[in-house]
Structure 1
């Protein structure tokens, strides 16, 4: 266990939510286990400890995701602050599972309720500074992708209300090309139009939701399953999340 800073404003918290690509499935390497005393994570028991991959614990296969790189880069901008990561992603969870009271049988959890409870626990000692979201694979079909934009908008509003953080920055991630362009059983390249609609929804929300932005997954690669980012790509996403978060926080600060 680690004792966080006494001043809540010096302990900045980030909620990490979504499904398996937020939790991470990339191979853990030496660089992913180097400790940084100013980057902590809330473990499964609700205690603070120095962060190292795997950050998440949704499934036994949890490995390298974007969270640790994101946390390290957020800490690097100000030596006086400590970053607290709140890992809550759940592999395989569709956006419908991210609503109050919903039970997700695959992991025997309540994704939204659990994330809310963990965030509230963390906020006893720190200040919620942002939320990052990486999800959409499970919703990449014609029916679910058609309502994805309205469901993500509702999720953002619900979280901000329940966490009493109406202006907290929210950054979402798009799906990668290796999920949009897939080789089918006929060995031909097929376009996953539903995944494209997910990405369009994630982008369009920038026009409809305040203090929101998104990152692309351009130039990323998978671990060989056409679903999950490899470790290098997960770290790249962490960089993009940090860059987008800092930019969003700067805009919000400028508006005050």
Structure 2
């Protein structure tokens, strides 16, 4: 074989190895408060993810609880002044325990953290520490998983209280969620403004509600899936 042909073959093999997608499973971690708790991943999120990556290549972990502030997840949460309330990250501990249990002995190709929360912090008026908390929570999870490539998809608060008449920091937290999502190429966000009108699962009609309609949750799951897939493929092509 002529030397130049050997060089071409070797270069092609090297190029292929550099551009091939990493082997392993794609881990999706879903957490937050009530609008995440009410999301059923099996309705639209998981089917969309599995259709793209294959059922055998997907791990979905969800742990959420309604009405909870971010200090139930972020360990270093602190108010601007004073010492109360205090961080109580028991929900994070519960979440990370679940995650570690399912990824043990697994080769993980990617991790995507999906977050739908902020209503409680808006109501309590802790928007002034929400950005630090959101960024800190992402770093906390990344450190605990020993990864520097975690994708982050944030569900922005809906248009429920754009006048801040019921939840004083509603629009502040909406803006922070978008600002954070646009601060890093591995971050993104989804819009939920059109998901809180319609019929809920028990047949009751809602309009501009704090929570989503039955179809709204299905759409929300699909949007989370689409953004997750987009981020993963962005960094594995």
Aligned position for 1:20: 34
1:116 and 2:130 matched = no
Aligned position for 1:49: none
State the distance in 2 between where 1:206 and 1:162 align: 21
Deviation at 1:193, TM superposition (A): 5.5
1:253 and 2:236 matched = yes
Change (3 A) 1:100 1:145: closer
Change (3 A) 1:191 1:249: same
Q: Say which SS state the counterpart of residue 198 (structure 1) adopts.
A: helix
Aligned position for 2:196: 221
State the distance in 2 between where 1:252 and 1:208 align: 16
Change (3 A) 1:134 1:233: same
CA offsets 1:191-227 (integer angstroms, 9 cap, x no match) = 8551111111011013433411111102112544822
Residues 75, 89 of structure 2: 8 Å contact kept: no
Q: Say which SS state the counterpart of residue 196 (structure 1) adopts.
A: helix
Deviation at 1:117, TM superposition (A): 1.0
1:244 to 206, 215, 227: 227
- Matches for 1:94-113 after TM superposition, within 5 Å: 94-100=69-75, 110-113=90-93
Aligned position for 1:144: 126
Aligned position for 1:67: 41
Residues 74, 133 of structure 2: 8 Å contact kept: no
1:205 and 2:208 matched = no
| Structure of higher CA gyration radius | 2
Mean Cα displacement is larger for which, 164-173 or 126-135? Answer: 126-135
State the distance in 2 between where 1:116 and 1:175 align: 24
Count of aligned pairs between the two proteins: 195
TM-score, with structure 1 as normaliser: 0.68
Aligned position for 1:170: 152
State the distance in 2 between where 1:101 and 1:193 align: 23
Residues 74, 136 of structure 2: 8 Å contact kept: no
Q: Which of the two has greater helix per residue?
A: 2
Deviation at 1:22, TM superposition (A): 0.4
Gaps (5+ residues) in structure 1?
1-8, 25-64, 103-107, 183-189
1:88 and 2:63 matched = yes
RMSD of aligned alpha carbons? 2.7
Gaps (5+ residues) in structure 2?
1-22, 78-87, 201-205
Q: Say which SS state the counterpart of residue 30 (structure 2) adopts.
A: strand
Residues 101, 110 of structure 1: 8 Å contact kept: no
State the distance in 1 between where 2:28 and 2:52 align: 15
TM-score, with structure 2 as normaliser: 0.73
Deviation at 1:12, TM superposition (A): 2.6
